[in-house]
Structures are given as structure tokens and as C-alpha cells.
Structure 1
Amino acid sequence: MAPLFISRIVSSASVGFGQLALAWGVMDLGYGARGLSLVMACNAFPALLIICGGVAGDRFRRHYVLMGAETLACLSWLAIGAALFTGRAPLALLCVLAAVGGVATALFLPTLRGIIADLLDSPNRPAGNALINQTQSIGLLIGLVSSGAMVTAVGPAWSASMRGVLCGLSVVLLSRLATSRPSEPGTGPLRDLRNGWREFGARPWVWIMTLQYTAITTAVVCYTKIAGPLYATDGHGGAWSWGIISACEPLGAVMGALVGARWRPGWPMSAAALLPVSVAFPMLLMGSGAPWPLIAAAAVVPGVLQAVYYVLWATALQERIALDVLVRVNSWNMVASYLLMPLIMLVSGRLATILGAEALAFWSGTTAIIATLYALIWLRFIAWRENPSEIETKRLWRKQTSSASSEEAGSDIGSNTQP
């Protein structure tokens, strides 16, 4: 397990370097908000391959799939760094290279959650999920803070190249793992996809949380990829301040993972659905034109709560879904939000140009709040429909417990008055 956790620190640090490198690299070349949104859309466009990544993660050794994804990311980001070093990279080239990086992400994300189920037994999975989240947060924190300084001091080309180097180091670490091959013998890829979809659709709580996840991801993408960098550039501290703001969320996640490893709520799905609304806090502050240090402080809160959410959600999937279809269900859980990303990138770039970064951030936060309210309502409705007596039974139990306690207390008082 140690190579996996160290790899997550290294790879997540590389994400921090790439996040700022691409945004400031495109803007430094003079392509503006529309060019930035186009490049980000191309980076998100290969999201359809997430379901293919789910099939690969269930058919091949999962650490091999992760190694392949990291190798592809290494090559694409080294090429992006080289293009930025020229100082006149064509927008089309940056779009193509960003798309290659998106393919790597599509292969990597669904498989990561499945590998914990491979390497740990059931009692240890919550702690494993928490540690994965914590190591990712530490790495992202290091990457964002360091990349903000690097972009400011020597430029985005060095930051993009650093991401490529770190992805290569992650490949070496992942090669030290050993996982079994969990594929279903005698089935083809199309049948694997259908089986994964059937398992996904048979669980209403999964697809309701998926719809909420899609809306939350849309809001976060608009905020982090478009509104935030534009807001920071427009007189709010530049790349350095946005690096600090972005780093505050993983800073909170380091603490939140400790809570997630220990907390066992009575209504885990409702708790998991409520926690993501915290992403709206810094968005609404940015929408009101707040100074960047206040936004940075507010970003710690969603960091804490999102880490708890990750542990609850990942553990729920690992415990309730068979290991041989787990990655495919994960991929269907992710694909809707990632499919929308290219469109969201293009639309948000235009909206930021027309309305401004502050308005885009405000409406992103509002979207997150509305999506959470709908998810909570539907989850409670489904729980009542599937077991209408469950809620009433708990109420009656509490009432009977309260009555019994009162009667017992009365008996005690009466017995104390006897001669």
C-alpha cells in the first residue's frame, strides 16, 4: 500500500502544477477567456472514455491501468511544457495536447477507487479511502502552493514540465504494486459495459447521487477553471493568490479525511448528499467581490467536508457493489459530469466574458445549493418508498424510549417517597 499512497502524493502534486500552468500559459499567450475555455473544454472532452476506463479497470490488473494513464499524462504534459517554452504555441496544438491529458484522466479516475477494494479487506477500507484522500490532498496542497510561486517566478512552461516529470515518478511507484486480474472470463467489452450499466441503474441511490455529483462538478469546474483564474487576474492577486486559494481546499481535506475515517452517520447517504453543498461558500464570496484572503479562508470548509464525503461515498460503493463490477459502476457514476464538461467550459467562457467572473462564481454556487436540496428530497423519498415503516419505526422507538424513561423516572421518585 505504501507505493500507492506515495504515488498519490506525487501525482496529486503534479495536478496542482498543471492546473495553474495551463490556465496561465494560455492567458500569457494572449488567448483570453475564450481561448482558455476552449483548451479546458478539449481537456475535458475525452470524458466519454471514462466508461472505457471502467471496463479496463475491471478486466486488467488495476495498477497496470493506473500506470498506463500516468504514462500518457507524463508524455502529454511534457509536450505542453515544450509548447509553452516556445512562447508562441498555436491554440490548436494546446487543445490537442490537453485532450491527450484528458484521456489519461478518463482511464485513471474510475480505477483508483477500485484498487482500494483490491488491496484492503472490508474493515480497513474506510481508513484506506481516508488515507487516499489525505495523501491526494497533501500532494495537491504542495503542488498548488509551489506552482503558484513557480508560475510567478519562472513561468507556466516550467510548471507544466514539472507535472510531466512527477507523473513519470508516479509510474515508477505504481509499478511496485501487485493486484489481481478481476475480469469476467468469456465476456466482451460491450457486454461488460451493459453489465456495468445494469448494476448502476438498479440502485436509485447511486444515480440520484450521480445527478447531484454532475451538478456539483459543473459548478466547481466553472469556478476553478474559468471564474477563479479570471477573478485573480483582474486585480485580485494574480497566479500567486489563486494558488493559495486553490491550496486551502486540500488543506482542509487533510483534516477532513481524519473525520471521515471515524464518523459513521445514521443516515450515510443523506449525510453524503448534504456535505458537497459546502463548495458554494467560496463561490458566493467571490460572487460578492470579497477579497481573496477571505475566499481562501472559506475554501478550507469545503475541503474538510468534501473529504468526509469522499470517504462515505467511496466506502458505500465498495461495500454494496460486487468487486468485479465496481470500477464500471464508478465510471457510470462519473461519466455524466465529465461528458458535460466540454460544453460547460465553452459556455462558461462566454458567460465570463459577458457577465464577468463574479457573476459566474455566484451562479455556480447557487447551482450547487439547488442540486443538494433536490438530492436530499429524492433520497428521503426513495428511503420512504422502499421502506415506509423505517422512519416511522425510528420515531416510535424514540417516543417509546422517551415515555419509558419518564415512567422509570416517576417510579424512582415514587419509591424514594416510601417509608
Structure 2
Amino acid sequence: MRITKTEVPAGSRFGPLAHRNFRRFYIGHSVSLLGTGMERVAVAFAVLSVGGSPADLGLVIAGGVTVNILCLLAGGVVADRFGRRWVMLVSDTTRFLAQGTFATLVLIGHAPVWAMFLLHAVQNIGTGFFTPAMAGLTPSIVPTAQLQRANVLIGVAKDIGVVAGPALAGLIVVATSPGIALAIDAATYLASVVAIALVKIPPYVKRATRSPLGDLREGFTTWRSQTWIWLISVTFALFNGLLYAPFLVLGPIVSERDLGGGDSWGLILAALGAGSILVAPVLMRWSPSRPVVVIVLAQGVWALPVLCLAVPMPLPLTAAAAAAGGASLAVFNAIWTTLLQSRVDNELIARVSSFDAVCSYSLSPVGLVAAAAVAEVTGTGAVLWAATLWQALSAALLLVLPAVRRVKA
């Protein structure tokens, strides 16, 4: 059963931040997300600083991504069996210890690539367990009427971390060393541990279950039985593999070749993050009557930035389209997360969210590799045009399906 707090009216002008438990969690999680934004830059320079090759760096990063995805399903089962708060505490403690050890090895000058691979993998194991647990915790510390606002605020914190984290890590690496940047990242996980420890929720009541495998099967059955859930999960997987991956891989190439150099790609990515942040005030007040229709339309908007790269359009227009794409992702994430949390039984939400995440990101690694390989044969323009047409067509087809149109707020 979902637990709602009544310490402040749902319509308070302070929104979910008026609730002490969410406020404590949000402060610590925001600090942690800033550290996560720093991580990719810090890890890259750490590997290179000890003489690692680009292939070594790819191995370290790919290993982390792989174990993260593999742990999501187990994370959903564990969170629903034993309580989301404790899983998040253990996960962030694990991330703190792994990243702290990584930082220490780099600082003392004894960081072999195998150790960095192992520690980065352990850190991502923690992330794999943390993510589905958080999907189940939020509805327990925020009233149902405030769920979308809470998810918008979490999205804003994530976007700020994505934009500010790499820049901050770059400054720290230049001024000090990659080890210091990693140590700061580790400290942000400790801040999250303290914040989650201060969150107070009623004791978690473990319901009778057959086995962990039975729990996993129950989560899959629930995910599969709701057409609108698996349909959007599969659609987002195709979005990541067929459109977002080419955007990330080929965007820098087009920027360097046609838009004035590498700095233009930085501007496009900054516009992407800015669009996500700027749409937040609208999402704090807007609750669409047909949420799945809005989600599909938001995905369709992403045809614009990819089209701008395919043509290619002038940089200001491309940046504006990227901002629209960032805003559409924020709309998608806020509404989709809220819809799952409000429509799926709270006892199942971590498992259902884990199946959604695994499906949604399953094609990303393949897409990142395939985009570059196909572009070498057909050219970047052909790949980007195909991605644009696919996105526009898929959105149009989804809008005619009853499973999409019948879901109402």
C-alpha cells in the first residue's frame, strides 16, 4: 500500500520540498547526482593518467555499463523484498567505498587497469541496485498528488549534474589531479547515505513470497500484462538504439565538419541540458489528461535535432532543436515515472521499473557501435536521415493504437 504524508497540503507552494523526508532525500541525492556528472570525466583522466590506452578506457566504461544493466533486475527483486531505503543505503555505501578506493589508488600512484575495471564495476553494481529502489521509495515519502512535481525536481537535479558535473570535474583535474576528482565524487555518495539515513518511513512489511525467482516472474508478468507499459518500454529501447545513439556518436562528427568545430557540439549539449531544466516550471503545474499520448508526442520531438544534424542546419537552429529535444526528454521522464508510480502496485514498482529500465536501455550499446559502423559505409547523413524518419513514423503509428490513447490521468 502506498504511504502518503499529510504534514503539508498537497498544493503547497513549496511542493514536495515542503515534506521533510523528501527534502532530506532530495538534498543528498542532488549532491550525489553532481558527483555522478563528474564521474565520467574523472574516470577517463584517471585511466589515461596511469598510462592506460583508449581501449583500456573503453573496457573500464563498458564493464561498468554492462554490470549496471545486469544488476537492475536483481535490484528490483531485492528492493521489493527487503525495503527500498535499506537497499539504497547499502548501494550508496558500496559506491562510496568503491569510488573512495579508486581515488586512493590513483592518488598513491598504484592503480592498475584491472583494479580500476573491478572498482568501477563494483560502483556500478551499487547503481544497478539503487535505481529501482529509488522508484519505490519516492511514492512512500511524497503524497500522490505531488509525485510528478517530485519527479520533475529529481530530473532537474540530474540535468544540472549532467551539465555542471563534467565542467567541474575538468576544472578539478586541471587544478589538482584525477584522484581528487574521484575522491570528491566518492564523498557525494557519503552525503547521500547520510541524507537517506535521516529519511523516516514506517517499517517495511515484507509480504509472503515464494522465492526470488518467483518475485522476478511476478514483476515480469505485471510489466508484460499492461500493454501501455511494455509498449513504451520497447519504443524507448528503439529510440535509444536507432535515434539517440546516432545523435551521440555522429553529432560530434557533423559539428566538427559542418558547424564550426568541436566547440559547437559542446553548445548543442549545453542547449540539450538547458531545455530539460527550463521546461521544469511547466511540468510542476501541468498534468496531462492523456499522459501516454503526451509521452509519444515528446518522443516525436526528437526528430527535430537529428534532422538538423542530417541537413545540416545552422548552429543556432540546431541548438534550439536540441533544447526542444531536452525539454521533450524531461517531459517524458517526469510523466512516465509518475505514471508507473501511480498505476503500479507499490509492492511491485521496483521490479516493474527494473524491467522497464532493462528493456529501455538494452539497445543502447548496440546502437552506439552500429551507428559508427553503418556511417562508415553509408555516410553520416544517411544514418541521421534514417533515424529522423524512423522517429517521426514510429510516433505517428503509436498515436493510432488504442493502448496509447485510452490511458487517462
TM-score category, normalised to shorter length: 0.7 to 0.9
Aligned to 2:121: 99
Instruction: State the Cα deviation string for residues 371-392 of structure 1 (Å, max 9, x = none).
Output: 56325514522348989xx9xx
| 1:36-47 pair list within 5 angstroms | 36-46=57-67, 47=69
In structure 2, relative to structure 1, the CA distance for the partners of 1:365 and 1:309 (3 Å cut) is farther
Distance 1:348 1:35 in 2: 20
Distance 1:245 1:25 in 2: 26
Among 329, 332, 346, the residue aligned to 1:306: 329
Among 189, 200, 214, the residue aligned to 1:178: 200
Residue 147 of structure 1 pairs with residue 202 of structure 2: no
Distance 1:292 1:145 in 2: 22
Instruction: State the Cα deviation string for residues 42-89 of structure 1 (Å, max 9, x = none).
Output: 111111210111112212221221222222222222333345446785
Greater C-alpha Rg = 1
Distance 1:379 1:138 in 2: 32
Among 77, 100, 111, the residue aligned to 1:55: 77
1:108 CA displacement: 1.5
Structure 1, 163-172 or 82-91: larger mean CA deviation:
82-91
Q: For the aligned residues, what is the CA RMSD? A: 3.7
Asked if the contact 1:11/1:167 (under 8 Å) is kept, the reply is yes
**TM-score w.r.t. structure 2 length?**
0.78
Aligned to 2:221: 198
Instruction: State the Cα deviation string for residues 220-275 of structure 1 (Å, max 9, x = none).
Output: 45655x6678899999558xx87765454333322222222322334321210221
Asked if the contact 1:66/1:108 (under 8 Å) is kept, the reply is yes
Asked if the contact 2:305/2:321 (under 8 Å) is kept, the reply is yes
Aligned to 2:276: 253
Distance 2:124 2:362 in 1: 12
Residue 275 of structure 1 pairs with residue 325 of structure 2: no
Distance 1:220 1:26 in 2: 27
Distance 2:128 2:384 in 1: 24
| 1:398-417 pair list within 5 angstroms | none
Aligned to 1:16: 37
Residue 381 of structure 1 pairs with residue 401 of structure 2: yes
In structure 2, relative to structure 1, the CA distance for the partners of 1:228 and 1:14 (3 Å cut) is farther
Residue 315 of structure 1 pairs with residue 335 of structure 2: no
Aligned to 1:71: 93
Among 167, 185, 189, the residue aligned to 2:189: 167
In structure 2, relative to structure 1, the CA distance for the partners of 1:127 and 1:349 (3 Å cut) is closer
Distance 2:66 2:228 in 1: 27
In structure 2, relative to structure 1, the CA distance for the partners of 1:136 and 1:113 (3 Å cut) is same
SS in structure 2 at match of 1:324: coil
Q: Which runs of 5+ in 2 are unaligned?
A: 1-21
SS in structure 1 at match of 2:279: helix
Structure 1, 79-88 or 66-75: larger mean CA deviation:
79-88
**TM-score w.r.t. structure 1 length?**
0.76
Q: What is the percentage of aligned positions where both structures have the same residue?
A: 27
Asked if the contact 1:41/1:343 (under 8 Å) is kept, the reply is no
Distance 1:143 1:85 in 2: 21
Asked if the contact 2:292/2:404 (under 8 Å) is kept, the reply is no
Distance 2:187 2:218 in 1: 37
* Letter of the 2:39 counterpart: G
